[in-house]
Amino acid sequence: MAKRPLFLVSNDDGVFAKGLTELSLSLRDMGDVIVVAPDKPRSGASSAITTRNPITYSLVRSEPGLTVYSCTGTPADCVKLALNVIVTEMPDIVIAGINHGDNKGIAVNYSGTLGAAIEGCIFDIPSLAISLIHGKQESDYLACCRYARAICRRILKEGLPRGVYLNVNVPNIPRVRGLRVCSQADGRYHNEFIKQRNPQGKDVFWLSGDLVLNEPAEKSWDVATLDRGYATMVPCKIDVTAHQYVRDLQSWEEDD
């Protein structure tokens, strides 16, 4: 009898988030699912890890084909702890999500959802993150689950290149037009803080901001493709070396 695939699922919205629950349940007929997710929301945690305090984990629920753990650490901590301590065999796929909100463009550098997928990729496990554009706790995650399942089937059949993980975003609209492979949009956030004054008269700042593209949107960018009603899939790399410039910069080398 063939061994069932093993999926490790995490997120940054917390272990009781609806997106995480629906994703986990949607994968159960495809394989066994182990969830290790933060005990509270950790959005914006990126690949942060806990180094100065101990972390703990506890069992939330266990039933055939599905085991859920809560962890006091970041999303990256959750995956790292799962792979080092909790699981007895390496998962076939690490999946982060479903995130309650987008992770398009430059957001890949801030997202805790992506941080969990990156950690899986570091362990040489095919990994992906999936997010619902403008998603909320009460949103409908059916389309996200459908694309997650389809992508997982392709990964189980064909794998992913070493060091590559996938960033998937799905528009929150009645009918998604399909899935497109894209590149990350070129832009950054502007007006990133809202200034207010607290009751003690001290200035406080709330994170906000709008994603502004550096030039007119290319049709191949994820932002433009999402605006046209398609789900997007951006292949990303954990090796951030600008290999094309290594030779150019060798003239800067010095010997003591």
pLDDT at 135: 83
pLDDT at 236: 97
- Are 121 and 164 contacting, i.e. CB atoms less than 8 angstroms apart? yes
Percent of the chain past pLDDT 90, that is, above it, reads 85
Count of domains forming the chain: 1
Residue 245 lies in a domain: yes
Residue 209 lies in a domain: no
Which CATH number fits the domain that encloses residue 63? 3.40.1210.10
Which helix (H) or strand (E) segment holds residue 249: the answer is helix 243-249
- Are 25 and 61 contacting, i.e. CB atoms less than 8 angstroms apart? no
Tell me what the pLDDT averaged over the chain comes to. Answer: 94
Structure token digits, residue 197: 């004054």
Mean pLDDT along residues 182-198: 89
Cα separation, 160 vs 120, whole angstroms? 12
- Judging by beta carbons within 10 Å of its beta carbon (0-12, 13-18, 19+), is residue 146 exposed, middle or buried? middle
Residue 144 lies in a domain: yes
Residue 39 lies in a domain: yes
Residue 213 lies in a domain: no
Mean pLDDT along residues 3-32: 97
Mean pLDDT along residues 92-121: 95
Domain with 59, as residue range(s), is 6-185+218-252
Residue 79 lies in a domain: yes
Residue 199 lies in a domain: no
Residue 210 lies in a domain: no
> 230-256: per-residue pLDDT in tens?
999 999 999 999 999 999 999 999 988
With CA atoms as reference, report the closest residue to 97 among 233, 245, 194: 233
The yes-or-no verdict on residue 30 having pLDDT over 80 is yes
pLDDT-derived band at 151 (thresholds 50, 70, 90) equals very high
Structure token digits, residue 44: 């914006």
